[in-house]
């Protein structure tokens, strides 16, 4: 997770390490020659020697000597949260690192999730998280292959917010489908007006991909594709009613985690279906 580059990019790396480990009092290599007058060599001395003077330790060497591989869970989580804090790394590094950390810890039922912000940058904390379903993993893989930056990031954010920010997750679910629809329409050479909403975009895309109910004669296909169109339209309506894109009065319905789970899963499945259809068409025309 931390190979290549610096663990801390925004200030002195040793200062960052000292905020988590008492390296000045931790024992280093006592066989080294340059001990102090008391014959004690600290781990900090070793880090300075091998990370600055000689530059012959990798990040893995450093973390192994800090005992990260055998430390308590609380210390590990403290380090991981600090390693993605906006005061520790720049935004691009943070995004990559969060994805890498989550790929390694989500199988144990944990995940770095957005819990706050500082000067417009996200703060992440580790929380217990239901292990993702096979569908989550399949959709994540497809979206990352399809468009790794904006669209995949939108999906990941929606997954993160399902339990902690249901309204935000619902808004992201709709935005994800809008992004995918606009991207595919552009690939198909179709113009999409900035004022067109999700239902209008989907109808145009469905026609271009021959997914409109009227494009098929089999009744079962007409019904399935008609249901897909209704799902997209209702996702837009759900976002308007329960999402966070519009202000609401005190009596406005507040979404629960189960509502966000439904919206995000439906949006992900529809996005995956649209991408797969476009890929199949592109392969057939190649």
State residue 251's pLDDT score: 53
Eight-class DSSP state of 8: -
Cα torsion for 88, 89, 94, 96, to the nearest 10°? Answer: -130
CA distance 108 to 185: 39
State residue 245's pLDDT score: 53
H-type alpha helices, 217-256:
219-242
Which residue do the tokens 């957005």 mark?
A: 114
Give the chain's residues under pLDDT 70.
Answer: 30-39, 129-135, 148, 239-253, 286
CA distance 250 to 128: 31
State residue 134's pLDDT score: 58
The DSSP element (H or E) to which 44 belongs, if any, is helix 43-48
The DSSP element (H or E) to which 20 belongs, if any, is none
CA distance 191 to 138: 30
Residues 6+ positions from 234 with CB-CB distance below 8 Å: none
Residues 6+ positions from 140 with CB-CB distance below 8 Å: 132, 152, 155, 156, 159
Token representation of residue 76 = 């590990």
State residue 28's pLDDT score: 83
State residue 67's pLDDT score: 94
Residues 6+ positions from 8 with CB-CB distance below 8 Å: 15, 16, 83, 88, 89
Phi first, then psi: what are they for 236, rounded to 5°? -65, -40
Long-range contacts of 273-277 (CB under 8 A, 24+ apart): 273/228, 274/180, 274/181, 274/184, 274/205, 274/209, 274/211, 275/142, 275/143, 275/146, 275/180, 275/184, 276/142, 277/209, 277/211
Token representation of residue 98 = 């969060």
CA distance 13 to 217: 65
State residue 129's pLDDT score: 63
Token representation of residue 168 = 């935000």
* Model pLDDT for residues 208-218, shown as the tens digit of each residue: 999 988 888 88
Strands (E), 150-260: none
Closest CA to 79 of 121, 23, 130, 25: 23
């Amino acid at each position: 997770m931390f190979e290549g580059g610096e663990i801390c990019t925004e200030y002195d790396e040793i200062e960052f390490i000292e905020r988590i480990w008492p390296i000045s009092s931790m024992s280093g290599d006592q066989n080294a020659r340059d001990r102090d007058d008391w014959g004690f060599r600290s781990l900090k001395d070793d880090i300075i020697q091998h990370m600055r003077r000689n530059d012959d330790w990798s990040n893995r060497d450093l973390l192994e000597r800090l005992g990260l591989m055998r430390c308590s869970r609380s210390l590990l989580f403290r380090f991981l949260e600090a390693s993605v804090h906006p005061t520790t790394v720049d935004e691009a590094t943070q995004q990559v690192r969060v994805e890498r950390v989550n790929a390694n810890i989500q199988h144990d039922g944990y995940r770095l999730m957005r819990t706050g912000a500082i000067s417009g940058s996200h703060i992440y904390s580790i929380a217990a998280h239901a292990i993702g379903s096979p569908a989550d993993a399949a959709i994540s893989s497809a979206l990352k292959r399809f468009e790794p930056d904006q669209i995949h990031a939108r999906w990941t954010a929606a997954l993160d917010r399902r339990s902690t920010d249901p309204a935000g997750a619902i808004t992201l679910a709709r935005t994800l489908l809008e992004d995918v629809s606009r991207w595919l329409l552009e690939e198909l050479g179709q113009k999409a007006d900035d004022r067109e909403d999700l239902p209008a975009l989907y109808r145009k895309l469905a026609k271009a991909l021959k997914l409109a109910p009227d494009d098929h004669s089999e009744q079962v296909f007409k019904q399935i594709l008609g249901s897909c169109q209704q799902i997209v339209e209702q996702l837009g309506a759900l976002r308007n009613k329960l999402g966070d894109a519009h202000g609401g009065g005190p009596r406005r319905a507040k979404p629960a985690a189960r509502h966000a789970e439904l919206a995000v899963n439906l949006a992900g499945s529809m996005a995956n279906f649209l991408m797969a259809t476009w890929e199949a068409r592109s392969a057939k025309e190649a």
